[in-house]
């Protein structure tokens, strides 16, 4: 299994734990991730709010590099995944956008490079049967809330990830680790991440609402696949506690970190020491400790 891997900016900054755990899990499962040489920004946030053609052109520059490698492009960051999928969709559906992109890149790109999230690779290419064989440390009795947020599932016609209102890819993978997914209605709600630096209170209240829902459903941790959700729910938890006068203690971990623990990888190589809210409760179940 060989893929062109697009890490995205957050992989080297606020989501190093996501990146590290992804690489560790890929290695353990013999998935070959070849980092795209010379990758640049996917065009998220500032670009797509300012100029659609700029955002699509930025994403396409990476597609052209992946195309040369002749492999599917694998993305871990949900925002990069979203922007790349939307770019492909817009190029395929608008001759005008396609022309504009060709003009700014000096090369024609037809929107044909497949973009996939790493969790899709785990479930669809590796598959539950093969994954189960590699589990040496099942996370028995761990109650997990699978949280998707916005970028993976919306807009559905472009991302085409899973059922946009009730996706189950993460639950299927949690099942493989031996954990139990709780039933809850917050899985595609927004964490408010977009206002994290500009109108922080909106983010703090929104993320607190998500954590409260997961808690009410009996979850001991929330599993995410998006670095923006992880930051909002994890780093902002101290602010939630201050603003709302409640204690949450809800570990927010990446799916690759959870799976890595079940695969017997060490907490350190999975970047679990980088979490703001201690994952001690999960580690206890996994019989692992942060050294």
Which chain residues interact with another protein by CB under 8 A? 9, 12-14, 16-17, 37-41, 49-51, 53-54, 57-58, 61, 96, 99-100, 103-106, 150, 153-156, 164, 188-190, 192-202, 206, 235, 271, 273-276
Nearer to another protein, 1 or 9 (CB): 9
Nearer to another protein, 41 or 281 (CB): 41
Nearer to another protein, 94 or 168 (CB): 94
Task: Answer whether 11's CB lies under 8 Å from 18's CB.
Answer: yes
State the minimum distance, in angstroms, from the CB of residue 150 to another protein. 4
State the minimum distance, in angstroms, from the CB of residue 269 to another protein. 12
Distance of CA 112 to CAs 74, 161, 174, Å? Answer: 14, 17, 31
State the minimum distance, in angstroms, from the CB of residue 112 to another protein. 20
State the minimum distance, in angstroms, from the CB of residue 137 to another protein. 24
**What are the start-end ranges of the H helices in the chain?**
16-28, 46-50, 52-69, 78-93, 95-105, 118-120, 128-134, 156-159, 169-177, 200-216, 227-230, 237-244, 255-262, 280-285
State the minimum distance, in angstroms, from the CB of residue 128 to another protein. 28
Residue 132: CB atoms within 10 Å: 14
Region of 127 please: left (phi>0), alpha (psi -120 to 50) or beta: left
Nearer to another protein, 4 or 142 (CB): 4
Nearer to another protein, 177 or 203 (CB): 203
């Amino acid at each position: 299994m060989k893929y062109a891997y697009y890490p995205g900016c957050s992989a080297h900054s606020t989501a190093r734990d996501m990146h590290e755990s992804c690489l560790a899990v890929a290695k353990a499962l013999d998935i070959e991730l070849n980092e795209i040489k010379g990758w640049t920004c996917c065009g998220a946030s500032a670009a797509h709010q300012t100029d659609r053609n700029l955002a699509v052109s930025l994403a396409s520059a990476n597609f052209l590099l992946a195309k040369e490698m002749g492999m599917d492009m694998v993305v871990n960051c949900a925002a990069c995944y979203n922007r790349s999928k939307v770019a492909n969709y817009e190029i395929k559906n608008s001759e005008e956008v396609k022309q504009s992109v060709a003009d700014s890149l000096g090369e024609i790109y037809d929107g044909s490079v497949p973009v996939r999230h790493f969790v899709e690779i785990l479930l669809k290419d590796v598959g539950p049967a093969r994954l189960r064989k590699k589990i040496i440390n099942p996370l028995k009795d761990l109650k997990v809330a699978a949280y998707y947020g916005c970028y993976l599932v919306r807009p559905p016609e472009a991302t085409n990830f899973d059922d946009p209102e009730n996706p189950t890819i993460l639950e299927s993978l949690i099942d493989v680790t031996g954990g139990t997914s709780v039933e809850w209605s917050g899985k595609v709600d927004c964490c408010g991440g977009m206002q994290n630096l500009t109108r922080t209170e909106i983010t703090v209240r929104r993320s607190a609402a998500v954590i409260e829902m997961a808690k009410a459903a009996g979850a001991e941790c929330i599993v995410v696949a998006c670095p923006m959700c992880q930051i909002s729910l994890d780093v902002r938890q101290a602010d939630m506690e201050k603003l709302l006068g409640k204690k949450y203690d809800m570990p927010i971990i990446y799916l690759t970190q959870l799976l890595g623990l079940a695969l017997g990888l060490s907490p350190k190589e999975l970047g679990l020491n980088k979490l703001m809210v201690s994952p001690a409760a999960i580690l206890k179940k996994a019989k692992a400790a942060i050294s």
